């Protein structure tokens, strides 16, 4: 197979139906059948990337190896496919327009009127096709954000229509809809699905497969009805009922032969028998845990759990690996006070202080670190969480009472966390942090080395501030260990503490690299520590 095959995933009836999980599950099945597979997200908003978005808007900002700030769905793609994505895997309307307008300014369109069709749609298609020409993927799954009928996603739907016309045998469309259940009549209703397919048809797109989200299993009669009214084959109506865990969805899709039905539409045969035994075993462990522990997660966006989705999933991966059920106790950093610390951390076997930006909730995070440090509770600080551990140590162990990060207090006498040199001249905030993969060398006698079992690692970053090396000697004398360093840039990447059972802070984001099949070693060892040091 020289050319790529393209599978578009669209959504109808309601948002948040889990297009990302269906796309990931389908990708997972093709991947396990031996196809080189990737998934691409088309986002309809005008931001050039989600890096400038508040997490309350769209949840976490995910980061790829090559430093793209991307939609959180890319995290699902990596976690399900066990393969890294790159900046080619996320397109936003903002980035499409930016590039078309730059071309117009350069004079590339030779006096033509620049229009949505063909210029914007051509740009969308070109970007999709880069994954074919540059990366040689055999299967490219394209998730279109939003719901059909949205004004914003129309250019994407039009690009899809054109691709289906131009590459007739290479394109399939999977449409995900919702079948609401009406309790009063005890029925599952298909009308909203019919309408959403009509909306797609108005844009010239006939879906090939309909995946129906439903609380209840749907019978043959309903499937027949959907097939007839939506113009798809009976075996192309697939149900997606609610399941305990998202990692079960690939198996649910496999049982209904979603991958085979799609393969038929694009004229390919499975390369191999499905080899997903490890996945199934891991899932069994996830569903049959031997123990339960509780982890306190301290953050300031806890009202929207998607803000910390990669951390939550990393805990699930480590839990499945260790056969432990991990219950997250959400702790709002703005609400943590000296008076309620004991109550808040009661029954927490370990505590994570989450990444973040800005001043809000910072004092609660500092108090949290002090409490876990003094009470020997396993601690895992991620990015801002590590920086906060440094501030707490400076204040309460070294006696620098006003110590702070320059991000929160630019006038502090003790800027133990300072702006990186490379950041000082930067004016635009979009896409200018220290982003993506960097190397880190580990000290052999350390918790970090115990976890990774190698001395050179690379991890993904997203920050502007860093540990201020001027304080290294004083901190070392007082018992802080600098166990991971980026030697090239002379940056502290990992801190630990002497005289504490498990206290580790990382400047990077290990959660971006954890997958269901390959749980992250730091999360595994953190959970192991929580299990052994239980109070
Ligand atoms: N705000 C901090 C910085 O920019 C930490 C960022 C983060 O937690 N991702 O350095």
User: Distance (Å, rounded) from C-alpha 385 to C-alpha 355?
Assistant: 6
User: Distance (Å, rounded) from C-alpha 161 to C-alpha 176?
Assistant: 17
407 pocket-lining for ligand 1 (C-beta < 6 Å):
yes
Which H or E run includes 374? Answer: helix 362-374
- Alpha carbon 526 to its chain centroid, in Å, reads 20
464 pocket-lining for ligand 1 (C-beta < 6 Å):
yes
144 pocket-lining for ligand 1 (C-beta < 6 Å):
no
Q: How far is the CA of 525 from the centre of ligand 1 (A)?
A: 24
| Annotation marks residue 414 as catalytic | no
Chain segment 343-399, per-residue pLDDT in tens: 999 999 999 999 999 999 999 999 999 999 999 999 999 999 999 999 999 999 999
User: Can you name the residues that pair with 40 across neighbouring β-strands?
Assistant: 142
pLDDT grade, residue 2 (50/70/90)? low
384 pocket-lining for ligand 1 (C-beta < 6 Å):
yes
97, 120 in Cβ contact below 8 A?
A: yes
User: Distance (Å, rounded) from C-alpha 529 to C-alpha 324?
Assistant: 12
Pocket perturbation via mutation, ligand 1, pick of 53, 55, 357 by most ligand atoms within 8 A of CB:
357
**Nearest protein CA to atom 1 of ligand 1, as residue:** 357
Strands (E), 247-368: 291-299, 324-332, 350-353
pLDDT at 534 over 70: no
User: Distance (Å, rounded) from C-alpha 93 to C-alpha 96?
Assistant: 5
- Alpha carbon 425 to its chain centroid, in Å, reads 30
Least confident piece of the model among 15-19, 37-41, 110-114, 530-534: 530-534
3-state class of 487 per DSSP? coil
User: Distance (Å, rounded) from C-alpha 509 to C-alpha 309?
Assistant: 12
Q: What is the mean pLDDT of residues 499-528?
A: 97
Chain segment 227-282, per-residue pLDDT in tens: 999 999 999 999 999 999 999 999 999 999 999 999 999 999 877 788 899 999 99
390 pocket-lining for ligand 1 (C-beta < 6 Å):
no
32, 279 in Cβ contact below 8 A?
A: yes
Which H or E run includes 188? Answer: strand 187-188
What dihedral angle (degrees, nearest 10) is formed by the CA atoms of 396, 397, 399, 405?
-70
Q: Is the pTM value of this prediction over 0.85?
A: yes
Query: Which among 22, 33, 35 is positioned nearest to 279, based on CA atoms?
Result: 33
Chain segment 10-56, per-residue pLDDT in tens: 999 888 889 999 999 999 999 999 999 999 999 999 999 899 888 88
Q: What is the mean pLDDT of residues 167-176?
A: 96
520 pocket-lining for ligand 1 (C-beta < 6 Å):
no
511 pocket-lining for ligand 1 (C-beta < 6 Å):
no
pLDDT at 535 over 60: no
Q: How far is the CA of 67 from the centre of ligand 1 (A)?
A: 15
Mean of all residue pLDDT scores within the chain: 94
pLDDT at 423 over 70: yes
Q: Which atom of ligand 1 is nearest to the CA of 465?
A: 10
428 versus 113: the higher-pLDDT residue is 113
**Nearest protein CA to atom 8 of ligand 1, as residue:** 355
Q: How far is the CA of 37 from the centre of ligand 1 (A)?
A: 32
387, 356 in Cβ contact below 8 A?
A: no
DSSP character at residue 236: G
Any idea what the Cα angle at residue 76 is, between residues 74 and 77, rounded to 5°?
60
pLDDT grade, residue 1 (50/70/90)? very low
């Amino acid at each position: 197979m020289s050319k790529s095959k393209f599978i578009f995933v669209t959504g109808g009836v309601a948002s948040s139906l889990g297009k990302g999980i269906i796309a990931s599950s389908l990708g997972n099945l093709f991947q396990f059948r031996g196809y080189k597979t990737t998934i691409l997200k088309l986002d309809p908003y005008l931001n050039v990337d989600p890096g400038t978005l508040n997490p309350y808007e769209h949840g976490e900002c995910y980061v790829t190896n090559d430093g793209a700030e991307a939609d959180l769905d890319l995290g699902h793609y990596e976690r399900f496919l066990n393969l890294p994505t790159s900046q080619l895997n996320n397109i936003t309307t903002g980035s499409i327009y930016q590039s078309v307008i730059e071309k117009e300014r350069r004079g590339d369109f030779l006096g033509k009127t620049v229009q949505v069709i063909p210029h914007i749609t051509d740009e969308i298609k070109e970007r999709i096709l880069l994954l074919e020409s540059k990366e040689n993927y055999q299967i490219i799954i394209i998730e279109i954000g939003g719901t059909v009928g949205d004004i914003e996603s129309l250019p994407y739907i039009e690009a899809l229509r054109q691709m289906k016309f131009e590459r007739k045998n290479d394109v399939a469309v999977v449409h995900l809809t919702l079948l609401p259940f009406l309790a009063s009549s005890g029925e599952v209703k298909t009308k909203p699905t019919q309408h959403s397919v009509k909306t797609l048809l108005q844009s010239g797109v006939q879906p090939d497969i309909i995946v129906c989200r439903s609380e209840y299993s749907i019978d043959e009669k309903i499937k027949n009805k959907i097939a007839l009214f939506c113009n798809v084959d009976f075996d192309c109506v697939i149900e997606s009922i609610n399941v305990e865990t998202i990692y079960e969805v690939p198996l649910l899709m496999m049982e209904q032969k979603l991958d085979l039905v799609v393969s038929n539409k694009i004229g390919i045969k499975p390369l191999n028998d499905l080899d997903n035994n490890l996945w199934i075993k891991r899932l069994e462990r996830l569903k049959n845990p031997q123990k339960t522990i509780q982890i306190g997660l301290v953050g300031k966006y806890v009202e929207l759990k998607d803000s910390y989705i990669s951390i939550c999933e990393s805990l699930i991966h480590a839990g499945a690996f260790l056969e432990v059920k991990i219950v997250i106790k959400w702790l709002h950093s703005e609400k943590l006070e000296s008076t309620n610390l004991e109550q808040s951390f009661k029954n927490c076997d370990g505590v994570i202080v989450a990444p973040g930006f800005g001043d809000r909730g910072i004092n609660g995070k500092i108090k949290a670190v002090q409490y876990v440090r003094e009470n020997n509770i396993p601690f895992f600080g991620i990015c801002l969480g590590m920086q906060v551990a440094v501030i707490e140590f400076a204040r309460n162990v070294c006696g620098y009472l006003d110590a702070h990060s320059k991000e929160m207090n630019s006038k502090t006498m003790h800027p133990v966390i300072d702006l990186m040199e490379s950041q000082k001249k930067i004016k635009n905030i979009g896409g200018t942090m220290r982003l993506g993969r960097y190397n880190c060398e580990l000290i052999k006698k350390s918790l970090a080395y115990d976890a990774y079992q190698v001395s050179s690692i690379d991890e993904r970053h997203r920050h502007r501030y860093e540990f201020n090396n001027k304080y290294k000697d004083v901190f070392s004398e007082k018992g802080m260990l600098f166990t991971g360093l980026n030697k090239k840039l002379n940056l502290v990447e990992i801190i630990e503490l002497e005289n504490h059972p498990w206290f580790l802070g990382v400047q990077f984001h290990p959660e971006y690299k954890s997958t269901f099949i390959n749980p992250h070693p730091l999360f595994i060892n953190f959970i192991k520590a929580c299990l052994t040091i239980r109070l």
